[in-house]
Amino acid sequence: MPAPAPAPIGLGLIGFGIMGERLLRAALEHARDSVTPVGVWDPAPEAASRLAAIAPGVPMLASAAAVIAACDCLYIASPPAAHIPLAEAALAAGRAVFLEKPLATDLAAARAFVARAEAAGARAAVNFPMASSPSVAQLAAWQATLVPARLSIEVAFATWPRGWQQAAAGWLARRAEGGFTREVVSHFLFLTRRRLGPLVLERAHATFPGGDAAETAIEAHLTAGGIPVTLRGSVGTTPQDDSNAWTLNDAIRLRDWSFAERRGADGTWAQAPDAMPNERMRPLVLHRQLAGVAAMTRGEPHHLATLREALEVQEIVEAILAG
């Protein structure tokens, strides 16, 4: 007889903003075979009522410590300054950790945390959903027929933060923790690292509007596994909430998060047969991410972004912003 499927792992969530709610919904609607939400904590007064409306069976616990005590794996979706303290508390309690990026607001602290976690063999991963994207898998299949020669990454936004992020503008719009380079460009740098190899920043420039506001434009030149990469990002240059493209050799690309496209002999771009908008793709991606979380928590091999990969991405991001 085949071995029985392993029981879902108990998932605790700290931070019930946009990302916390999104992952909780995915856990309840698409990943019950992998995870069971066991508790949430968020200090915002309205978080408890939102949780009760969305998932009345999942308790809002009294503290971060209570969530850590209740779970097998802690998902950390708080603002970045709290990531490392919460992760270290969970790891010290013997829990696995699934973090939002960036790892920290301080690069030295992120390096020290990753070194400690690796030395201890910690069960930890970072939520870069492109690790689970079917569109990225399609790109990888197409890439097998190419010799990578050049890559361009372009991101643009009507406003920053994006319309759906305005509730978190208090930190997303600020230079200390927010900005589109940390929040969005980091995903494409992770994809680049996975598909092409180690990242090396050659030069960069970032434009800031003044005060403590986050960047409004960036331009950078990198290499990835020795392949030249150009990167551009800007705010107020598109009517779209969010526009992006990761284009390899001007032959294949990932557009607007979820559309894998290939240039035909006539020069036009054609979508993969199973292409779909990001809103429809996201549940499938998060189901795969949460399956990876369950495997990671059990100490099994997984495909999720490692702490080391997230640190390498963060180093490039902070160097771009410093440039």
Helix ranges, 101-230 (H):
107-119, 134-143, 169-172, 180, 186-196
Beta bridge pairs of residue 262: 252, 270
Indicate the pTM of the whole model: 0.95
**CA-to-CA distance for 29 and 283, rounded, in angstroms?**
9
Q: Which residue is it, tokens 């990002």?
A: 233
Q: Say what the pLDDT of residue 1 is.
A: 59
DSSP assignments along 131-147, one per residue: GG-HHHHHHHHHHTT--
The residues, ordered by sequence, that sit 6+ positions from 315 with a Cβ below 8 Å of its Cβ are: 107
Please list the helix, strand and coil fractions of the chain in percent, rounded to the nearest 5, in that order. Answer: 40, 25, 35
Are 161 and 216 a contacting pair, CB within 8 Å? no
**CA-to-CA distance for 317 and 95, rounded, in angstroms?**
29
Distance set, CA 150 to CA 142, 184, 194, 247, 250 (Å):
15, 21, 15, 8, 8
Token pair for 191: 């994809």
E-assigned strands of 134-237?
A: 151-157, 199-207, 217-224, 227-235
Dihedral, CA of residue 308, residue 310, residue 316 and residue 322, to nearest 10: -120
Q: Say what the pLDDT of residue 2 is.
A: 66
Distance set, CA 79 to CA 26, 57, 70, 280 (Å):
20, 25, 22, 26
**CA-to-CA distance for 241 and 33, rounded, in angstroms?**
34
Where are the domains positioned within the chain? 9-128+284-306, 131-277+312-322
The count of residues in the chain is 323
Beta bridge pairs of residue 10: 36
**CA-to-CA distance for 147 and 149, rounded, in angstroms?**
6
Class of domain 131-277+312-322: alpha beta
pLDDT tens, per residue, the chain with 323 residues: 566 778 999 999 999 999 999 999 999 998 899 999 999 999 998 999 999 999 999 999 999 999 999 999 999 999 999 999 999 999 999 999 999 999 998 999 999 999 999 999 999 999 999 999 999 999 999 999 999 999 999 999 999 999 999 888 899 999 999 999 999 999 999 999 999 999 999 999 999 998 999 999 999 999 999 999 999 999 999 999 999 999 999 999 999 999 999 999 999 999 999 999 999 999 999 999 999 999 999 999 999 999 999 999 999 999 999 98
Are 99 and 83 a contacting pair, CB within 8 Å? yes
- Which of 287, 314, 151, 166 has its CA nearest to residue 226? 151
The type of residue at 313 is V
- Which of 210, 208, 224, 211 has its CA nearest to residue 313? 224
Distance set, CA 222 to CA 33, 37, 75, 85, 237 (Å):
41, 40, 32, 32, 23
| Range 9-128+284-306 classified under CATH 3.30.465.10 | no
Distance set, CA 138 to CA 169, 173, 212, 261, 270 (Å):
34, 34, 40, 9, 13
317: left (phi over 0), alpha (psi -120 to 50) or beta: alpha
Tell me if domain 9-128+284-306 and domain 131-277+312-322 are identical in fold.
no
Q: Say what the pLDDT of residue 11 is.
A: 98
